[in-house]
């Protein structure tokens, strides 16, 4: 479970982020990977040197950094979302290809590229290989949404058939099935509208809308991936004009709240609560990473350009989960 979103302000700025829907925590924190940070490629054994500073939500497993969503200093953003049952990764490296593990895909995208066109060119020679970080950590089955600071967006999906790169004209993404299926499915919801239906007659009987919101009757309201895709695509397509960063950030998190998972909604097969552990919003122009957690509704922010972006050590920021209530008396 997860939802990705990209929106634009009236001034032409782009914001990109996601809901992270999980039944567990992965020791996550906002972290900055500076230029020249090094880590080992688990597929080839080679040492990888980071070329562009990156900020995002991630973790470190056996000294190996892994991002769930992030952006680089050029404003290119990438998020990995669950694609269980559809994702397929090669068992062994493919000769003549640039072979990497799926959990390194975000670093590869953000370290080596600044625009969507550059990413598309790089993917032509890329292969994703199933190579766990360690024996206790299976490879997450993901697909990815990538957005540059001009708003151009793609979705990358590796299935058993092929490695597909879909242009993303709708600016949203959820989980399975494949992205092209989701776009086709939107045709089933042409009738949805923010305005109320006009008065009409069936025979001699006059029909009127029963209150505000009748134009959205038929909107799927469940937590399934297909339904969340329809809801977030609808609300993004009918979003009013937004002026300024604060309005954009506020609207962005409200839109993610529209498709968030809450306790009591969904249980996994293991009986665990599937919920939105955090929501993120990245200012792709200013390099600011905003987030809020399930336990703490306050929006926290880290500006990557206030930090040292060249060096060898990762920098971590506390993942804030204590509810921050402003008592007014």
pTM: 0.95
Query: Tens-digit pLDDT profile for the chain (329 aa)?
Result: 799 999 999 999 999 999 999 998 899 999 999 999 999 999 999 999 999 999 999 999 999 999 999 999 999 999 999 999 999 999 999 999 999 999 999 999 999 999 999 999 999 999 999 999 999 999 999 999 999 999 999 999 999 999 999 999 999 999 999 999 999 999 999 999 999 999 999 999 999 999 889 999 999 999 999 999 999 999 999 999 999 999 999 999 999 999 999 999 999 889 999 999 999 999 999 999 999 999 999 999 999 999 999 999 999 999 999 999 999 99
For residue 118, give both structure tokens: 């550059």
Residue 185 lies in a domain: no
- Domain of 299 in residue numbering reads as 2-177+242-317
Q: What angle do CA 252, 155, 285 make, to 5 degrees?
A: 45
φ, ψ of residue 247 in degrees (nearest 5):
-60, -40
For residue 197, give both structure tokens: 């239906």
Residue 214 lies in a domain: no
Annotated catalytic residue, options 2, 43, 100, 141: 2
Residue 159 lies in a domain: yes
For residue 190, give both structure tokens: 């042409």
Number of domains in the chain: 1
Residue 216 lies in a domain: no
Q: Which residue has the tokens 């039944």?
A: 23
* CATH number for the domain that contains residue 166: 3.60.60.10
Do 129 and 90 contact (CB within 8 A), yes or no? yes
The whole-angstrom separation of Cα 296 and Cα 126 is 39
Q: HSE (CB half, 13 Å, CA atoms) of 114?
A: 6
Q: What is the pLDDT of residue 24?
A: 87
Residue 265 lies in a domain: yes
281 is catalytic: no
The whole-angstrom separation of Cα 299 and Cα 74 is 23
User: 3-state class of 98 per DSSP?
Assistant: strand
Q: What is the pLDDT of residue 49?
A: 97
Residue 232 lies in a domain: no
Q: What is the pLDDT of residue 1?
A: 79
């Amino acid at each position: 479970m997860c939802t990705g979103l990209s929106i634009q302000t009236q001034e032409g700025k782009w914001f990109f982020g996601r809901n992270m829907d999980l039944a567990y925590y992965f020791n996550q924190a906002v972290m900055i990977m500076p230029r020249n940070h090094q880590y080992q490629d688990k597929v080839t054994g080679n040492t990888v040197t980071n070329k562009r500073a990156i900020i995002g939500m991630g973790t470190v497993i056996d000294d190996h950094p892994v991002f769930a969503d992030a952006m680089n200093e050029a404003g290119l953003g990438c998020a990995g979302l669950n694609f269980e049952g559809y994702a397929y990764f090669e068992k062994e490296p493919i000769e003549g290809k640039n072979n990497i593990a799926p959990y390194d895909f975000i670093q590869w995208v953000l370290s080596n590229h600044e625009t969507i066109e550059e990413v598309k060119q790089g993917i032509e020679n890329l292969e994703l290989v199933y190579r766990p970080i360690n024996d206790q950590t299976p490879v997450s089955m993901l697909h990815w949404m990538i957005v540059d600071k001009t708003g151009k967006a793609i979705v990358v999906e590796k299935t058993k058939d092929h490695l597909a790169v879909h242009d993303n004209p709708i600016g949203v993404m959820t989980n399975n099935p494949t992205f092209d299926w989701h776009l086709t499915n939107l045709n089933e919801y042409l009738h949805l509208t923010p305005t109320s239906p006009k008065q009409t007659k069936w025979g001699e009987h006059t029909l009127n809308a029963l209150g505000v919101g009748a134009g959205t009757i038929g909107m799927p309201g469940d937590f399934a991936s297909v339904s969340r895709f329809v809801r977030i695509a609808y609300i993004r397509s009918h979003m009013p004009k937004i002026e300024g960063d604060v309005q954009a950030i506020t609207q962005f998190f409200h839109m993610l709240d529209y498709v968030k998972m809450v306790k009591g909604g969904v249980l996994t097969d293991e009986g665990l609560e599937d919920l939105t552990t955090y929501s993120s919003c990245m200012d792709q122009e200013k390099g600011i990473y905003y987030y809020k957690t399930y336990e703490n509704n306050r929006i926290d922010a880290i500006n990557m350009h206030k930090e040292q972006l060249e060096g060898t050590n990762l920098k971590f920021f506390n993942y804030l989960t204590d509810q921050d209530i402003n008592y007014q008396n």
